[in-house]
Structure 1
Amino acid sequence: MVSLPDDNVGHKPKYFEIDEDDPEALKRKIMKLSKELKRLRAEVEHWKNEVNKIANPPLLEATFLDFLPDGRAVVKSSAGPTLVVEVSSRVPRELLKPGVSVAINQRGNMILEVLKGLEDPYIKAMEVVERPKTRYSDVGGLKDQLREVREVVELPLKHPELFKELGVEPLKGVLLYGPPGCGKTLIARAVAGEVGATFIRVVGSELINKFIGEGARIVRDVFNLARKKAPSIVFIDEIDAIAAKRIEMGTSGEREVQRTLMQLLAELDGFDPLSGVAVIAATNRLDILDPAILRPGRFDRIVYIPPPDKKGRLEILQIHTRKMKLAPDVNLEKIAEMTEGATGADIKAIVTEAGYNAIRAGRRMVTMEDFEKAIEKVLSKRIGATYRVSQKKEFQFHTI
């Protein structure tokens, strides 16, 4: 007779007797204990690995720049300095290309792995719309301006073979300028929607970073993302935040803005307009932009987006009221006359406010009186006589 411990882990073993004359029972018990031993060994190995992970120092993220003749690598550490490091034998050298993110050990003397698909959180936070639903029919009063933008953006994205066949290089970018609320962003979204392109909206102020070199890296990452998601349209709103005229002397912050601008200029010079990426920028202040951003080969077409005239205001009203239940007394032409000086954004606000007026009155239909009250409320806040005068003085330029 033999005595073997029971397999209840963590409890006091219970001994029982196995008849030596019953080898099958003994085999079953040995097999069971072998499985339990294998499981326990795997669990011990797991916890050893966890302890090693805790004990190992963290890795630093860096950007690979180039190889030296002796086989070592030059990297730009996220902490700031440029380092010369060794490359681990586990890292395939064909994966190391300029601009690739890599992980180096804390002492900064070896590349241990390549970080694939790493995207900056600033880039993830930006507005990226795979296929915008905005269409040309959603743009009112800007027929000529829309045609100019379409020629530069839509043709190379939809029919690149035309340019290749003719041997003509298409224009690279479009700069839209004019008063706020007149449809600059709307035009960019409409073109992206009609072409079926990814719409990447970047605000100029988001490209400014307090750390040296970070703004330039974000610009580079934006264009890399655009190439990955091609066909795509990069829309840089408020570009004057980074593209204002440069001065010789300035603070360290101003110099960082200039570095970001230089990276943007380099991206505009370097990308191929037939690669499936188009660039549209917008500003309210064309007069303060650096001449380098305006020269041909970067933003080849500069388009003025004016406040809508009477016909344009009527088209915008028709767009925003097409799903609205209007009373018979509503006269959109008269409303267009009453809203002289209003922008497209103002007209949209008027239509929305008129709908709220009807809801407050308990009606299921919007009347002319609702629109009159909405015009008085919206325009009294946004368009006084002073605003009209400033509009005429500041935005009377239509050509460069």
Structure 2
Amino acid sequence: MSFEDDVKVGDTNYDDYVIFLKRRIRQLELQVRTLEADKERLERELSRLRMEMSRMKQPPAFAGTLLELLDDERAIVQNFNGPRFVVRIAPWIERDKLKPGSRVALDQRTMAVIELLPSQKDPSVLGFEVIERPKVTYRDIGGLRHQLKELREAVELPLKHPELFERVGIDPPKGVLLYGPPGCGKTLMAKALANEVNATFIRVVGSELVRKYIGEGARLVGELFELAKEKAPTIVFIDEIDAVGAKRMDETTGGEREVNRTLMQLLAEMDGFDPRGNVKIIAATNRPDILDPALLRPGRFDRLIEVPLPDFEGRLEILKVHTRKMNLRDVDLRALAGMTEGASGADLKAIVTEAGMFAIRARREYVTHEDFLKAIDKVLGSEQKLAQQIAIHEVMYG
């Protein structure tokens, strides 16, 4: 006898049983859908693992260099320093990215170009200070109005308005050399310029380009400018360029000859640049008198800009820049500017910082004129030290 014979339709037990069965069916259907989704996910994972295993089983490819494109289907390649081959180019390779000198992966059996590899760079190049866009602006520079105007004409104007030079029919300056005592704002000017033109800023110290082994420094210079082209528009700032650009002598040691090779590579890279291109070179030095004449000739560093110690108005502007966020009380900045003759921009920044430290030591939230007087005495010392700094500047720069 069936359940329907014992329980009549409409009875409470029958209705509850029907509800229970419907609920159970829905639960089973939900479980089936969940299992089907899990099955699809596991099948995709299995397919991915099989593809990964298949790729790992493939023989390794050769790394080579593309020498010449014959047509859309063929190219001449070289495997390291070995023989040259005329090979096919895989159909999935983007032709517009293939250029002579590109690094490519070659099939081990057919030597066909199967992949375009990224350009090789020395880790030292990638370790240089590369700032996509510096945060320094022109407002952060006190004084130096004339120098900043010349720098903007030589670098910013060609990048923003190249059509002006085309209409006049002249080439803009290719490189700019900033020279002057240390701490006067040469690096700050270059960073502010890179911010204004929205350019990548690559800062290199000249001594970083000098290497122990023959040819390493020259290769480093080449890769540096290759990186600059890839990140264009770019401003390459070479600080302390006298470390690699000093005058070449007739009698040299092995180390000096390697420095000269690096210098010659730098000269060649500067000659190979388009003056109207998107890469500009700025260099800075404290010793322009020892630089090689080949660096200073027109076509390389076309514009030489002296960045001197700030005068009274310059010192006053620098003090205003560094104190604009400070809580000052009864501070006479004009008097302080008059007392700091011979101080550089870096000295003035140190004075402002020390004055703030004196206020903090006194548990005050404001800085007084007395704090600045103590800071001047601590940073600059006696009047004899100031006079000595001025004398050194006059001897070096006249």
TM-score by length of 2: 0.76
Q: Give the C-alpha shift of residue 185 in structure 1.
A: 0.6
From the superposition, tell whether residues 207 and 111 of structure 1 become closer, same or farther in structure 2 (CA, over 3 Å). Answer: farther
Q: Structure 2 counterpart of 1:331, which letter? A: D
The correspondence of residues 214-293 of structure 1 with structure 2, limited to 5 A, is: 214-293=216-295
Q: Secondary structure at the match of 1:253?
A: helix
Q: Which runs of 5+ in 2 are unaligned?
A: 1-41
From the superposition, tell whether residues 48 and 66 of structure 1 become closer, same or farther in structure 2 (CA, over 3 Å). Answer: closer
Structure 2 equivalent of residue 122 of structure 1? 124
Q: Deviations over 1:196-225 (max 9, x none)?
A: 222111111122222333322322222222
- Tell me if structure 2 keeps the 8 A contact 1:134–1:189: yes
Q: Deviations over 1:130-166 (max 9, x none)?
A: 2222222211121111111111111101101111122
Q: Distance in 2 between matches of 1:283 and 1:148?
A: 17
Q: Give the C-alpha shift of residue 372 in structure 1.
A: 1.1
Q: Give the C-alpha shift of residue 230 in structure 1.
A: 2.3
Q: Secondary structure at the match of 1:181?
A: coil
- Tell me if structure 1 keeps the 8 A contact 2:76–2:87: no
Q: Distance in 2 between matches of 1:40 and 1:142?
A: 66
- Tell me if structure 2 keeps the 8 A contact 1:86–1:110: no
Moved more, 274-283 or 38-47: 38-47
Q: Distance in 1 between matches of 2:333 and 2:274?
A: 45
Structure 1 equivalent of residue 206 of structure 2? 204
- Tell me if structure 1 keeps the 8 A contact 2:89–2:112: no
Moved more, 303-312 or 117-126: 117-126
Q: Distance in 2 between matches of 1:345 and 1:197?
A: 25
Question: Is 1:189–2:188 an aligned residue pair?
Answer: no
Structure 2 equivalent of residue 339 of structure 1? 340
Question: Is 1:180–2:182 an aligned residue pair?
Answer: yes
Question: Is 1:356–2:379 an aligned residue pair?
Answer: no
- Tell me if structure 1 keeps the 8 A contact 2:61–2:105: no
Structure 2 equivalent of residue 84 of structure 1? 83
Identity of aligned residues (%): 56
- Tell me if structure 1 keeps the 8 A contact 2:89–2:113: no
Structure 2 equivalent of residue 28 of structure 1? none
| Aligned length in residues | 350
- Tell me if structure 1 keeps the 8 A contact 2:342–2:387: no
Question: Is 1:369–2:390 an aligned residue pair?
Answer: no
Structure 2 equivalent of residue 213 of structure 1? 215
Q: Distance in 2 between matches of 1:306 and 1:234?
A: 22
From the superposition, tell whether residues 48 and 288 of structure 1 become closer, same or farther in structure 2 (CA, over 3 Å). Answer: same
Q: Distance in 2 between matches of 1:272 and 1:90?
A: 31
* Aligned match for 1:140, one of 112, 132, 142: 142
Q: Give the C-alpha shift of residue 261 in structure 1.
A: 1.5
- Tell me if structure 2 keeps the 8 A contact 1:88–1:112: no
Structure 1 equivalent of residue 319 of structure 2? 317
Q: Structure 1 counterpart of 2:212, which letter? A: K
The correspondence of residues 30-49 of structure 1 with structure 2, limited to 5 A, is: none
Q: Structure 1 counterpart of 2:194, which letter? A: A
